[in-house]
């Protein structure tokens, strides 16, 4: 049996085929990939990475991350993080989607791990203490909660500390 990887995650440069047929069950996420992902990546406003199935050369997922800042008052987190800062620098997991036909096989989790590794690397280079996600529906909320994100009661936005992401990835 071959040990060659079945999937690979790549930057979009030179690999934009498959954008127009990608469908994940959320038209807004499909449309963003088709209409805005390349432009946003090239402009540097977000970083986009694509998950490819190598055998079929098909696009099966993508995510987008960007820098953000969270106001202290919004945080559900401990006074350790809140102390002495009016805003906490961090990263927004702005988009994450797996193609409908490939969902439920662990690919979403694998792609999220790739995103967290990149965020942790960026944090080591330039700072940033918190990761934010705005889940698109209840399924995305459940997926994010399974991955360690936590919400404040009554709010949909969810958070994960970079230090906790590093601990869960064994990067500390
Ligand atoms: C949400 C999404 C990225 C999950 O990807 P996936 O490949 O289907 O998920 P995985 O197979 O990797 O599942 C990882 C874990 O999340 C759970 N999970 C995934 N989708 C779920 C859902 N809709 N409801 C409840 N739990 C879910 C899985 O049961 C699994 O749990 P486990 O740790 O007990 O095994 C994917 O379904 C998707 O693209 N949905 C449409 C777009 C979307 O909602 N994006 C927002 C993501 S924040």
List, for residues 60-101, the tens digit of each pLDDT value: 999 999 999 988 777 765 655 556 668 889 999 999 999 999
Q: Out of 107, 108, 131, give the residue to mutate to test ligand 1, the one with the largest number of ligand atoms within 8 Å of its CB.
A: 108
Report, as an integer, the average pLDDT of 135-139.
Answer: 96
Q: Does 127 contact ligand 1 (Cβ within 6 A)?
A: no
Query: For the purposes of burial, counting CB atoms within 10 Å of the CB of 38, is it exposed (0-12), middle (13-18) or buried (19 or more)?
Result: middle
Residue 10 has pLDDT above 60, yes or no: yes
Query: Is 49 within a domain?
Result: yes
Domain membership of residue 82 as a residue range: 7-169
The pLDDT assigned to 96 comes to: 98
Count Cα atoms within 13 angstroms, Cβ side, for 11: 10
pLDDT of residue 77: 59
How many separate domains does the chain show? 1
pLDDT of residue 4: 65
CATH of the domain at 90: 3.40.630.30
Asked, for residue 1, whether it belongs to a domain, the answer is no
102-126 pLDDT per residue, tens: 999 999 999 999 999 999 999 999 9
Q: In this structure, is residue 105 part of a structural domain?
A: yes
Give the DSSP letter string of 29-79: HHHHHHHTHHHHHHHTSSEEEEEEETTTTEEEEEEEEEEEEEEGGG--S-H
Please tell me if the CB atom of residue 108 comes closer than 6 angstroms to any atom of ligand 1: yes
- Tell me if 114 is assigned to some domain: yes
158 assigned to some structural domain: yes
pLDDT of residue 164: 95
Q: Is the CB of 142 under 6 A from ligand 1?
A: yes
* 133 pocket-lining for ligand 1 (C-beta < 6 Å): yes
- The CA-CA-CA angle for residues 86, 91, 96, to 5°, reads 145
DSSP tally for the chain: helices H, then strands E: 6, 7
Angle between the N-to-C axes of helices 107-126 and 162-169, in degrees from 0 to 180, rounded to the nearest 10: 120
Give the integer Cα–Cα distance in Å for 118 and 82. Answer: 24
C-alpha Rg value of the chain to the nearest Å: 16
Between residues 122 and 152, the one the model is more confident about: 122
Task: Examine residue 82 and state whether it is found in any structural domain, yes or no.
Answer: yes
Q: Are strands 47-53 and 7-10 parallel, antiparallel or unpaired?
A: antiparallel
**144 close to ligand 1 (CB < 6 Angstrom):** yes
């Amino acid at each position: 049996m071959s040990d060659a990887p079945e999937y690979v995650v790549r930057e979009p440069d030179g690999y934009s085929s498959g954008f127009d047929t990608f469908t994940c069950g959320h038209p807004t996420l499909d449309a963003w990939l088709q209409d805005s992902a390349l432009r946003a990546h090239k402009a540097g406003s977000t970083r986009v990475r694509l998950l490819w199935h190598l055998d079929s050369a098909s696009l099966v997922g993508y995510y987008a991350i960007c820098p953000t800042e969270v106001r202290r008052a919004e945080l559900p987190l401990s006074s350790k993080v809140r102390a002495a800062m009016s805003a906490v620098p961090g990263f927004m997991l702005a988009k994450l989607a797996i193609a409908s036909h490939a969902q439920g096989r662990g690919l979403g989790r694998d792609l999220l791990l790739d995103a967290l590794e990149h965020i942790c690397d960026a944090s080591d280079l330039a700072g940033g203490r918190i990761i934010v996600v705005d889940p698109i529906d209840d399924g995305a909320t459940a997926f994010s909660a399974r991955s360690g994100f936590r919400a404040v009661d009554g709010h949909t936005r969810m958070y994960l500390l970079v230090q906790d992401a590093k601990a869960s990835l064994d990067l500390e």
